[in-house]
Amino acid sequence: MSNRTITHEIKLEKSVKIIIGIFAIGVFLNVFSPLLETKTALAELYGSDLDKIEVQLSGEFKCYGCD
C-alpha cells in the first residue's frame, strides 16, 4: 500500500480576511490602551459666584500670551 496524504484547503474571501485583520489589530491595540489613557481633570464650583471657577492642579500649568 502506498501512503496517501489528503489535504483540505479552506479559502476565505478577501472581505472575510479584512474583517479578521481588523479584529486582530483591535485586540493588539487593546493591549496598549492603558498606556494611552488620559488623566481626568476635576473642577469644582465654590460659593455662589458663578463667574469664577477654582481649579486645583496637580502638575504644572503654562499659559502663553496670558498677560
Cα separation of 9 and 31, whole Å? 32
Look-up: residue for cell 486582530? 24
pTM for this prediction: 0.41
54 or 24, which is more confident: 24
Under the banding of pLDDT at 50, 70 and 90, the label for residue 46 is: low
